[in-house]
Amino acid sequence: MEVDLCFVMDCTGSMGSYISGAKKSIERVVDCMANMEPAVKIRIGFCGYRDHCDGFNRLQIFDFTNSPTEFKNRLSGVSATGGGDTPEDVLGGLNAAVTRMTWRNNIRVLLHIGDCPPHGRRFTNTDDSYPEGDPNGLTAEGVLGEMQSANITYFFGEITSLTKTMINEFKNIIGEFNVLDFMNTTDMEGLVEKFFDATCSAINTAITLRE
């Protein structure tokens, strides 16, 4: 069984505690998956996104690797910084993960974690520097359509209620998908456990769907 697993994560300042917990959990997942070979072989990648005001720091992409050590070394350089208004470059992050990473295996899992929605009144009524939507012309239909065409199974880790509308809009486009509950988790140990369990559940679900 061969799996491509991509973590897509909001890496702006408000995500500090979650990034710390996620990094610890991802390292644990990587070690766990390494012990599953040769029965299950997993390539792991990462796409962190921030916002348009963050310039060259807007995206942080680590293409797939089957080396746990290499992946953990890459991940060590990820930090929570940047962001301006409430919405973030969600569509840019997802688009980069789908189109700029080298998906190869038949079982493809994308686990997206974030606390804020994309830009545009369609997704939020909060302060928004781009109320008309993504300034680069990306649309949810286009990005999620590419994801479906690539046979990538999408999971979302919900942290705050700010993403409720986004979740509903995404479901209107691609149908039902698994929403993983990361809300009301404040202690780091609990967050790591929840993140680890959710990642393992996402992999198992994707494998079942492909069988």
Model confidence band, residue 187 (pLDDT cutoffs 50, 70, 90):
low
What domains can be seen in the chain, in order of their start residue?
A: 8-153+171-197 (3.40.50.410)
C-alpha span between 134 and 145 (Å, rounded):
16
Assigned token pair, 94: 């997802």
Candidates 45, 47, 73, 53; CA nearest to 13 is 53
Parallel, antiparallel, or unpaired: how do β-strands 178-181 and 41-49 relate?
Answer: unpaired
Q: Decide if 154 contacts 174 (C-beta within 8 A).
A: yes
> How high is the pLDDT of residue 186?
60
- Whether residue 36 has pLDDT greater than 70: no
H-state helical runs in the chain: 16-34, 68-75, 90-99, 140-149, 164-174, 188-210
Spatial distance between the Cα atoms of 13 and 80, rounded to a whole number of angstroms: 5
pLDDT at residue 188, as a whole number? 62
Q: Look at residue 211 in the predicted model and tell me its pLDDT.
A: 63
Express each pLDDT in 92-133 by its tens digit: 999 999 999 999 998 999 999 999 999 999 999 989 999 999
Say how far apart CA 26 and CA 7 lie, in whole Å. Answer: 9
